[in-house]
Amino acid sequence: MTTVHDDALTTLARALAPGAFDDIRAACVLPAITTSASVSSSQVIKHAQGKRATILYSFADQTEAPERLVGKLYRSGRRAARMHRWLSALESDVFLKTDRIRVPQPLGLSGALHMLLYDYVDGVDLRHAVDDNKPFALAAHWLARLHDARPLAELKVRTIQHDVAKSIQWIKAVQPALSASNGTRLARMHNLLERLPTTPPDELRMIHRDYYYANLLWDGSSLWALDIDQLRLGEPALDVAHFSAHLQVLAYRQTGDFAAYDEQMHHFLNTYRQARPTGDAFGRLPFYTAYTFLKLAATEVDRARDGWRDAAEVFAARACDALDGRA
């Protein structure tokens, strides 16, 4: 059992204690878990301080129960219940069990723990599958399916005005840490963004907002998307740019070359375009690519880890290139 301290997540300590299984037993829909299984270990595998934590539960002495399941714990039971509704709707109506593009199967909701429970997916994220184009094609199909699906209830709208304002905020955070040349380029970008047309699209779509390689699992046959916490109504270009920019950053971090995974990126983009031939995801792609690189640069400045200044420089330059049409 692991121990993580987070005063804002009031049920986290209880969820990690040996007695947590009593709450899971009451919430989980699988009969084998409710009757015979017991928790052998619990491990926090992802933690957003003050917001949520993802816990991997392993079981011993089970009969037909899965070896592992995942609990996603939130600050409030209302938030957990909403995530359970969203995941259940996606799993039953959009990403069907017979498909190769999936979301994890929801197993239950523990109101006592503020926790959504879902099936563990035994796969690797896409950073470990860059030698295979199949999962990148399926990632494009998954995203196209989401963008064409009927939006779920309760989704908030994320407007282009909001995203332009966030971009300007990140420029102000990053600019003081940059060289004079990149600082000047960001100042020009600031001026461009203030004049950027912000006409809303004809139709807002359901978007993931955190769609990138680390939230996509490949099991050798199917592609699974995780972390639907940021689902919104917005512009599909954000998801397409987010995926592509993060793949370029992965290539840069692993090889020193942003273009190292261009084959996989173009396979993703071309497949998405074919899946949504009349889609609306490419008109503002330059802006949302710049938006994503600015966010990554601002994250480097905020965290100030080893090498952060160099990373902020190259990501800020990449953002300028995107808006200039050079990326």
Average pLDDT per consecutive 10 residues, the chain (327 residues; last block may be shorter): 80 88 73 58 91 89 68 95 96 94 94 92 96 96 97 94 96 95 94 88 90 97 96 96 98 97 96 90 91 98 95 97 78
Say which DSSP state 177 is in: G
Q: What is the pLDDT of residue 18?
A: 80
Q: Which pLDDT value is given to residue 34? A: 47
Check: CB of residue 101 under 8 Å from CB of residue 141. Answer: yes
- Is 240 exposed, middle or buried (CB count within 10 Å of its CB: 0-12, 13-18, 19+)? buried
Distances in Å between the Cα of 324 and the Cα atoms of 14, 193, 240 are 51, 12, 18
Helix (H, G, I), strand (E, B) or coil at 84: helix
Domains of the chain listed by start with CATH number: 12-120 (3.30.200.20), 125-324 (3.90.1200.10)
C-alpha to C-alpha distance for 59 and 78, rounded to whole angstroms: 27
CB 63 within 8 A of CB 1: no
**pTM score, whole prediction:** 0.93
**How many CA atoms are closer than 13 Å to the CA of 33, on its beta-carbon side?**
25
Helix residue spans in 195-307 (DSSP H) = 236-255, 262-275, 285-303
User: Looking at residue 63, what is its pLDDT?
Assistant: 57
Residue closest to 278 by CA, chosen among 205, 199, 224: 205
The 3-state DSSP class for residue 259 equals: coil
